[in-house]
Amino acid sequence: MTAQRRTDGAPLLEVRDLEMRFPISRGMFRAPVDFVHAVDGISFDIARGESLGLVGESGCGKSTTGRMLLKLVEPTGGTMMFRDGDYERDIASIKGSAVKEYRAKSQMIFQDPYESMNPRRTIYDTISEPLTIQKVGTVPDREKRVLRMLRMVGLTPPENFLFRYPHELSGGQRQRVAVARTLVMNPSFVVADEPTSMLDVSIRISIMELMSNLAKEMGVSYLYITHDLAVARYMCDRIAVMYLGKIVESGPTEEILARPKHPYTKALLSAVPVPDPSIRRTPVEIKGGISKAINPPPECRFIQRCPFAAEVCQNNPHPPLEQRGPDHVVACYRVDEIEALLGTPHVVVES
Amino acid sequence: MTISLEALKARQIDPTAPLLEVDRLVMHYKIKAGEVSAVDDVSFTVHQGEAVGLVGESGCGKTSIALSLLRLLPSNAMYVSGEIRLNGEDLLWLSPEEMRQRRWKEIAMVFQGAMNSWNPVYRIGDQIRETLDTHYRGIMNYRQQREHMEKLFNAVGLPAAMLDRYPHEFSGGMRQRAVIAMALACSPELIIADEPTTALDVIVQDQILKELKRIQSELGMSIIYISHDIAVIAEVTDSLGVMYAGKLVEYGPTKDVFARPKHPYAYLLLRSTPSITGPRRQLAPLEGEPPDLLHPPTGCRFHPRCPFATDQCITDEPPLEDIGGGHRVACWHHDEVPDLEEALQR
């Protein structure tokens, strides 16, 4: 059973058994003996126009997954079927000019609007660069498109921004430029890696709104990478929770937040601070911090930190994702026992 | 003199006694283009054993206040007027040497980047020892220092053997715990925590905040939390100040401010924070950008972005008025806009 969504028609992206192992060399001329299993056989679908949130702690493999989907790193295994109109490819195996063709359909938004822009290039240069690379239209066409994009991201009047440099803009305006650059090619798929975590609260909301409105308007699918579950709640239709290279739980956003089943998801949710002092959280304590997935043992990845680990977890391989609700899959052998022990709600309201 | 944690624990706490009083503080940064009005007429009091939070966006002056309390501002900063009194003594009039004597011993700090707070080439224990050497020269011998540091590490949940390790051998959360241990080293009465958990993962953040809260209540210390993360502040503080463009616009008991935010900025800030609990309500974005503090707006500094601004807001500066129960608001219209929620929906 994979974390897939039942929809009519094929999904935009169908990822199967995706795997990334980084070798660790012990000495310059020695063959690598150890591997970091950064992403270890994950499968999921992203439907057209859907936004999938990939959440987890640093080091869980969520950014690596995003980078593989854009061919920024080559996966060491698995397939990624991408279907958009007539275009149908396993992007895991494409190379060279085919990658360039794929990049016209897929884009990325980075975390830091200060680091992801060339300080010596004007806003016009920055936004029109994808058009130039893909040889779209004539120069006047490109200019028109850039102006339209600036208007769409709320930088008005656009003429005032065209020939400015990034340092002349505020953080929020820069991130708007980043959104414009991402969407100027009219992509069908965007990987957004923590696009709002560097921004102030008030600006964050407007960028989130902008991204989801434009996504609806232009029919863009997102892979939204974040460690902030509250942000994921507002941006994502579905959530997949990753732990040490594995998806441990996935399902519709509200379902996951209301009825988390994997002990890791429960711990993660119970650790999120609540912006309301009248609410007390009931903690689900787990041990220690996240480790690295260097040559991981076959049993459940979470076993070291899991307060509910039992013999069944010791003696079996990492649990498969199993259906535990409508479109809700969980990778844990002891879901029912944990449910009986803890119950589902993870916050209680203080009177 | 309190050296041991036990002595600190045994101290009598009077929750009504002021420990730190910031009184009408005005602070400017001098730059080529003029003077940036970074902190303008800010007053608040931290009582013994109290946890106070300061929230606001980048550039609102919250970190400037933290650095002012420690007198660690860059050289282009100027105190224009006001006082910062710790136990009745004005810190702004102390000589640099006198101030140095008070840092760590009376006011300690937990900084944002736990990664950068340590010197990578010294063992963590030796770096904490340096602080003890400065403040307890001739009072503690080497063995006593070691014992004291082991107790500190115990108090923050680190194994004592980690004292002999180098910073790179610590994970992010452990390093932040070590920073807290260091802040406790000289048993200060006040800890200033500037974004203490910002770079940490949510589970580790939760552990660190719990640790800080437990230590604070066990040792009866006061803490000033400075953060842009409203959810964190909501959970750990007793009182809360909301800052905007160098001004304290609202201050009061955390529960009151969250239940009934009276300043439009505070209201919008609290309402634009996404939460994983409760109904998934519409978030209210704040239009516009924070003002340029070289030329702060006339009257109320929030008026250019405020949905309720009137002529009075443009010309006159609203005072920070007490509206009961220690809840103070700087807005001309805080009682004329009884239900912001309703007004905003229109």
Print burial letters for B140-168: b (CB count within 10 Å at least 16), e (below 16). Answer: beeeebbebbbebbebbbbeeebbebebe
Q: Which of B177, B203, B268 to mutate to test the interface with A (most CBs of A within 10 A)?
A: B203
The set of residues, in sequence order, having a beta carbon less than 8 Å from that of A47 and lying 6+ positions away, is: A5, A7, A11, A12, A221
What are the structure tokens assigned to B245, written together? 């463009």
The pLDDT value given to residue A143: 92
pLDDT reading at A184 higher than 80: yes
Q: Given the structure tokens 């995706």, which residue do they identify?
A: A18
- Residues A329/A249, Cβ–Cβ less than 8 Å: yes
Helix (H, G, I), strand (E, B) or coil at B194: strand
pLDDT in tens, chain B (346 residues): 446 667 667 677 888 889 999 999 999 999 998 999 999 999 999 999 999 999 998 889 988 999 899 998 889 999 999 999 999 999 999 999 999 989 988 999 888 765 677 889 999 999 999 989 988 888 889 999 999 999 999 888 889 999 999 988 888 888 888 999 999 898 899 999 988 887 788 888 888 898 889 888 888 899 999 998 899 999 999 999 999 999 999 999 999 999 888 899 998 888 888 888 877 777 777 777 788 889 999 999 999 988 888 899 999 999 999 998 899 999 998 887 656 666 665 5
The alpha carbon of residue A307 is apart from the nearest alpha carbon of chain B, in Å, by 14
User: What pLDDT, on a 0 to 100 scale, did the predictor assign at position B4?
Assistant: 67
Distance from CA of A320 to the nearest CA of B (A): 25
Whether the per-residue pLDDT at A217 is higher than 50: the answer is yes
Q: How far apart are CA B229 and CA B198, in angstroms?
A: 8
Tell me the three state secondary structure of residue B77. Answer: strand
**DSSP tag of B164:** G
Nearest to A205 among B277, B280, B283 (CB): B283
Other beta carbons within 10 angstroms of residue A217's beta carbon come to: 10
Nearest C-alpha of chain B: how many angstroms from A210? 11
Partners of B251 in the beta sheet? B241, B328
> Among B209, B272, B277, B302, which would you mutate to test the A interface (most chain A Cβ atoms within 10 Å of its Cβ)?
B277
SS3 B91: helix
A58 touching B (Cβ < 8 Å): yes
Distance CA B280, CA A171 (A): 27
Residues 6+ apart with CB under 8 A from A202: B57, B268, B269, B272, B285, B286
* HEC letters along chain A: CCECCCCCCCCCEEEEEEEEEEEECCCCCCCCCEEEEEEEEEEEEECCCCEEEEECCCCCCHHHHHHHHCCCCCCCEEEEEEEECCEEEECCCCCCHHHHHHHCCEEEECCCCCCCCCCCCCHHHHHHHHHHHCCCCCHHHHHHHHHHHHHHCCCCCCHHHHCCCHHHCCHHHHHHHHHHHHHCCCCCEEEEECCCCCCCHHHHHHHHHHHHHHHHHHCCEEEEEECCHHHHHHHCCEEEEEECCEEEEEEEHHHHHHCCCCHHHHHHHHHCCCCCCCEEECCCCCCCCCCCCECCCCCCCCCCCCCCCCHHHHHCCCCCCEEEECCEEECCCCHHHHHHHHCCCCEEECC
Interchain CB distance below 8 Å, B277 and A57? no
Confidence check: pLDDT of A91 > 80: yes
Query: Which of B255, B274, B283 is the closest to A278 by Cβ?
Result: B255
| Residue A56 to residue B190: CA distance in whole angstroms | 35
Burial (0-12, 13-18, 19+ Cβ within 10 Å), A307: middle
- The CA distance from B61 to B39, in Å, is 6
Classify strands B18-31 and B77-86 as parallel, antiparallel or unpaired: antiparallel
Q: Work out the minimum CA distance from B276 to partner chain A, whole angstroms.
A: 5
Side chain identity at B287, as an amino acid letter? Answer: E
- What is the spatial distance between Cα A99 and Cα A70, in angstroms, rounded to a whole number? 9
Beta strand residue intervals within B32-65, DSSP E:
34-47, 51-55
Query: Which of A15, A47, A4 shows the shortest CA–CA distance to A328?
Result: A4
Contacting residues of B for A227, CB less than 8 Å apart: 201-202
For A220-263, how does the pLDDT look when each residue is reduced to its tens digit (9 = 90+)? 999 999 988 999 999 999 999 999 999 999 999 999 998 999 99
At A6 the pLDDT is 39
Q: What is the 3-state secondary structure (H, E, C) of B272-331?
A: CCCCCCCCCCCCCCCCCCCCCCCCCCCCCCCHHHCCCCCHHHHHCCCCCEECCCCCEECC
Instruction: End-to-end CA distance of chain B: give it in Å, rounded.
Output: 60
A229 in contact with B, Cβ within 8 Å: yes
| C-beta atoms of B234 and A172 within 8 A | no
**Domains along the sequence of chain A with CATH:** 13-105+221-349 (3.40.50.300)
Q: Nearest CA of chain A to the CA of B171: how many Å?
A: 8
- pLDDT score for A65: 95
| Residue A8 pLDDT class (50, 70, 90 cuts) | very low
Q: Is the per-residue pLDDT at A4 higher than 50?
A: no
Q: Residue B178 and residue B22: Cα distance in Å, rounded?
A: 29
SS3 B181: helix
- 3-class DSSP state for residue B29? strand
Provide, as residue numbers in chain B, all residues whose Cβ is less than 8 Å from the Cβ of A155. none
CA pair distance B147, B132, nearest whole angstrom: 12
The amino acid sitting at A232 is A
The minimum CA-CA distance between B62 and chain A, rounded to whole Å, is: 14
C-beta of residue A245 within 8 angstroms of C-beta of residue A224 = no
Could A274 and B202 be called an inter-chain contact, meaning their C-beta atoms sit closer than 8 Å? no
- Angle in degrees, 0-180, between the axes of helices A335-342 and A263-271, rounded to the nearest 10: 40
pLDDT of amino acid A351: 35
Q: Shortest CB distance from B269 goes to which of A57, A202, A231?
A: A202
Count of C-beta atoms within a 10 Å radius of residue B185: 23
Q: Least CA distance to A210: which residue of chain B?
A: B285
Is it the case that residue A7 has pLDDT exceeding 80?
no
* A136-154 pLDDT, tens digit each: 889 999 999 999 999 999 8
Looking at beta carbons, which residues of chain A come within 8 Å of B253? none
A-B C-beta contacts closer than 8 Å? 118
> Of B58, B204, B275, which has the smallest distance from its Cβ to A200's Cβ?
B58
A3 and A43 Cβ atoms separated by less than 8 Å: yes
User: E-assigned strands of B219-287?
Assistant: 222-227, 239-244, 247-253
Residues 6+ apart with CB under 8 A from A280: A347, A348, A349, A350
Q: Write out the residues of chain B at the interface with chain A, using a CB-CB cutoff of 8 A.
A: 57-58, 171-174, 201-206, 209, 228-232, 234-235, 254-255, 258-259, 268-270, 272-278, 280, 283-287, 289
Out of B228, B232, B270, the one facing A273 most closely (by C-beta) is B232
Q: With beta carbons under 8 A apart, name residues in chain B contacting A267.
A: 203
Q: A281 versus B184: which is more confidently predicted? A: B184
> Which of B174, B234, B255 comes nearest A275 by C-beta?
B234
CA-to-CA dists, residue A347 to A15, A173, A258, A267, B201, angstroms: 34, 37, 10, 12, 20
Cβ-contact A324, A333 below 8 angstroms: no
Contact A268 B204 (CB under 8 A): no
Residue in chain A nearest B173 by alpha carbon:
A289
Q: Is B275's CB within 8 Å of A275's CB?
A: yes
Q: Kindly state the tokens that stand for A217.
A: 């308007």
Say whether A275 and B255 touch across the interface (CB within 8 A): no
Collapsing DSSP states into helix, strand and coil, what is residue B212?
Answer: helix
Residue A136 sits at the chain B interface (C-beta within 8 Å): no
Query: Among partner residues B173, B174, B202, which is closest to A272 by beta-carbon distance?
Result: B202
Give B-chain residues touching A169 at CB under 8 angstroms.
none
